[in-house]
Structure 1
Amino acid sequence: MPRVVKPKDVRRAEVLDRALALFLERGYENVSLNDLLAVSGTSKGAFYHYFPSKEALVVALAQRSAGEAFEVLRPVFDQPGKNALERLNAGLAASYQVKLGMGVPEPIAAMRSLLMPENQALFRKIVTIWEDLFRPVLTEVITQGVREGVFDTFDPEGVGDMIQGFAASIQDYLVRMFDAADAKSRRKTIDDCVKRLKLYGIATDRILGLPDGATVVLERKQVEAMMTLFMPSRPAGSLP
């Protein structure tokens, strides 16, 4: 039978899928180019045809991950007939669901692996590309709010960057959840996370010239749900 030659974009997507599975299994730092060639079933020449280097493949993975999230979230931020605060809050609330993969096992497992120390290089690239992709969206929403008189800031893009920085820093608490040895430690991690989220919410409100509590933040029950998703061996009822 003649050999089936797949379109370049299909073959490239397959290489990305297999590389991601390998990174999540072994850790980004523990995967060599030869490992990627073996798992993807490509020659070195064919691999370089798709990706000039291992780092280029990682960037492509990050771009794909961020792009998929963007496709889901952009319509939420762009809802017609909403004022800027309503658009911002809808987008922030939807981001929580998207970043947790809507609770389905595969994205949760991927995120759990990405937060491990050996995958920090890959995770940082994903976060950076995510932020670059969403910067114009947040800037536009905040600029609209200034124009409407809902927000009061002289730097809409800077405020958007601060909001994204607040969101990214929550990953540190997820890592601490992994390391919590007992119920007392888990309870303290949750308490610390909820307190910090409240602070971030107030900070966002104040830099936008809003009353405290105007912007959406995760509540304790949502943080507990996040912990249950990321640590499924610990049933929800065992959380403090």
Structure 2
Amino acid sequence: MPRPKTHDDLLRAKLLDRAGELLADEGAQGLSLRRLASEVGTSTTAVYSLFGSKPALLARLCAEGFRAIGDRLREVRLTGDAVNDLVHLGTAYRDTALAQRNLYVLMFAGGDSTSPGTAGEVREELQLVLEPLHEAARSGVAAGVFDDVPGDVIASSVWAYAHGMVCFELHRTLPSGFEYPRTYEQGLHAIVLGWCR
């Protein structure tokens, strides 16, 4: 009779959920594999069996973070109004990024080739995340709303603005009292309008 499979997808999901919570509550310093295993009621052996290493676990978390943003962007119903569609997508991006703030910082940590922020799987997730932006931008170009440039250029400029402003907000980079939500939307609208014919 085969031995029961104890290191299964359910355990993997529990570990990822709890790791995400620890990361959100305490940042990367609060996430150790021993603590994670203990809080989920399993062994560190199970964690290593499922993920291989802490960097691999973090890479999986990053991929999940990108997937959450992508899922949220795909929920935005595109109306055919290219300007408003891109603004709504940019707003949804910010909201989702801020809701997983500690994970978002990790997602874009960068660094060497072993960094979770540069893992191949994570790069693939990022492309999926950005597809709704590309779709809305291409539609705007095809409709003659935007300049005759590749839609990917427009989408990338919107994403660069969104990502930069989210990072400023997460790190409170701008002067005290800066109104992030209002200024974010105004700037986002200006970026999109800048591509109009």
User: Quick check: TM above 0.5?
Assistant: yes
Q: What letter matches 1:165 in structure 2?
A: A
> Does 1:132 pair with 2:127?
yes
Quote how far apart the aligned CAs of 1:69 are: 3.4
Asked if 1 retains the 8 angstrom alpha-carbon contact of 2:7 and 2:50, the reply is: no
Which residue in 1 is equivalent to 2:112?
Answer: none
Deviations along 1:164-185, one digit per CA (max 9) or x if unpaired, are 11111223134228xx9xxxx6
> Does 1:209 pair with 2:184?
no
Find the residue that maps to 2:172 and give its secondary structure: helix
Q: What letter matches 1:157 in structure 2?
A: D
1:23-38 equivalences in 2 (<5 Å): 23-38=23-38
Asked if 2 retains the 8 angstrom alpha-carbon contact of 1:163 and 1:204, the reply is: yes
Find the residue that maps to 1:186 and give its secondary structure: coil
When residues 29 and 153 of structure 1 are mapped into structure 2, their CA distance, relative to the original with a 3 A threshold, is farther
Find the residue that maps to 2:146 and give its secondary structure: coil
Which residue in 2 is equivalent to 1:186?
Answer: 176
Which has more radius of gyration?
1
Deviations along 1:58-78, one digit per CA (max 9) or x if unpaired, are 12222223323322331324x
When residues 72 and 200 of structure 1 are mapped into structure 2, their CA distance, relative to the original with a 3 A threshold, is closer
Q: Give the Cα separation in 2 of the matches to 1:131 and 1:11.
A: 26
Which residue in 2 is equivalent to 1:46?
Answer: 46
1:12-31 equivalences in 2 (<5 Å): 12-31=12-31
Asked if 2 retains the 8 angstrom alpha-carbon contact of 1:135 and 1:157, the reply is: no
When residues 129 and 169 of structure 1 are mapped into structure 2, their CA distance, relative to the original with a 3 A threshold, is farther
Q: Structure 1: which 5+ runs fail to align?
A: 101-106, 211-240
Which residue in 2 is equivalent to 1:173?
Answer: 169
Which residue in 1 is equivalent to 2:86?
Answer: 88
Q: Give the Cα separation in 2 of the matches to 1:96 and 1:196.
A: 9
Deviates more, 1:27-36 or 1:12-21: 27-36
Q: Give the Cα separation in 2 of the matches to 1:13 and 1:129.
A: 21
Asked if 1 retains the 8 angstrom alpha-carbon contact of 2:87 and 2:185, the reply is: no
Quote how far apart the aligned CAs of 1:18 are: 1.7
Deviates more, 1:163-172 or 1:122-131: 122-131
Quote how far apart the aligned CAs of 1:11 are: 1.0
**TM-score, normalised with respect to structure 2:** 0.70
Asked if 2 retains the 8 angstrom alpha-carbon contact of 1:166 and 1:200, the reply is: yes
> Does 1:67 pair with 2:57?
no
Asked if 2 retains the 8 angstrom alpha-carbon contact of 1:76 and 1:91, the reply is: yes
Q: Say what the alpha-carbon RMSD is for the aligned residues.
A: 3.6
Q: Give the Cα separation in 2 of the matches to 1:40 and 1:74.
A: 32
User: How many residues were matched structurally?
Assistant: 184
Q: Give the Cα separation in 2 of the matches to 1:135 and 1:95.
A: 10
When residues 122 and 70 of structure 1 are mapped into structure 2, their CA distance, relative to the original with a 3 A threshold, is closer
Quote how far apart the aligned CAs of 1:7 are: 7.7
**TM-score, normalised with respect to structure 1:** 0.60
When residues 83 and 10 of structure 1 are mapped into structure 2, their CA distance, relative to the original with a 3 A threshold, is same
